[in-house]
Structure 1
Amino acid sequence: METTHDDIIASTRNWLEKAVIGLNLCPFAKAVYVKEQVRIVVSDADTPQALLEHLVTELRLLADSDPEEIDTTLLVHPFVLQRFLDFNEFLGVTDAVLAEMALEGELQVAEFHPKFQFEGTTLNDVSNNTNRAPYPTLHLLREASIARAVEAFPDPASIYERNIEVMEELGRAGWEALDVGPHKAK
């Protein structure tokens, strides 16, 4: 059975609603999600170069869009960079693209991957789930939105520690019961 774009978007929304928002892993996500300002787009890229071209298009679209319409974009790319180390190396390319497009200070790219692993952890360490999505995903964010959210949050540095505590309390069985991924596109 072939996985469609609608399936991939539905899985991504499920992850956003149950994990990111439901567990409050990102205290800033709910506001833009309920206002429908999150753009979720699936890339059919099957090479890093094709993904890079799609990334450039999405960065330009976000930069040129009204934040009230599109505040953030999730560029889901299920057919490329399946290996976490390849994905992690690609993040250096995203930084270079932001600089080349003169978007540093305006936009940034965060990352989510089904096999995300923090340095110093084991692959199965439950803390890694804070950055695991159903499919490899580049999260394009506006710096201004981040700044506003940080102003409203008393201690943004504590989010990381709180998220790890949430994952440890939830445990592997609790995470799996959420049924938020990872998934493989067919």
Structure 2
Amino acid sequence: MAEISEFLVVILVILAFLLLLGGVGLYLLIKLGKKAAVKARQATTRLTTHVNAMGTGDAAEVERLRLDLRREVSLTRQAIDHAQRQGWGLGDLPRLMADLTVQADVHDGQLGMYAQQRRMSSFVDHVTLDRLREHQAKLTAMCARIRADLLGDQVHHTSTGIADLTSRTDLEIEARRRPPDPLDQIDELYRRTMEERKDLP
């Protein structure tokens, strides 16, 4: 009887272990599935925006504005990330970029709603479209100004490094030159003197 109970305990422990592994595996699959669903939803939204931007009319123009805004924000974020990796002092620029990204997301949502309404309704709201264009221009101009400032800093930093490298190169080349031989200099002076005497009548 003791052998049977030990055997049952071993089987129950193995089953409990397998159930635990199955539970962990199921949890990870569900978590992975949720992440995949979010990524798929984002990809679908972007793909839809690209397809809708290929059309004509106000809705397609608004979709193109959305794509332009996303590109500008992405380029600016990349420039700031690059500057941070290089260790440059950016001050409050990363926080400003975070605020700008939030505002760009809000504007993107507004553009998306306008484009959807424009595709489904024949009524045109020109005033709202003009305001959306103004906001778009301001946001993209801010992104461009941030990138231009960062690029200017980068070029200035690079020019300082190039000037330092140039002076070091000049010093190294000068140090590698062979010093003139004093006997060669004496021979040269003697030769010149003899030539000058020959030239005299």
Q: Which band: TM-score by shorter chain?
A: under 0.3
Larger radius of gyration: 2
Instruction: Give the structure with the larger helix fraction.
Output: 2
TM-score by structure 2 length?
0.23
- Higher RCO (C-alpha under 8 Å, 6+ residues apart): 1
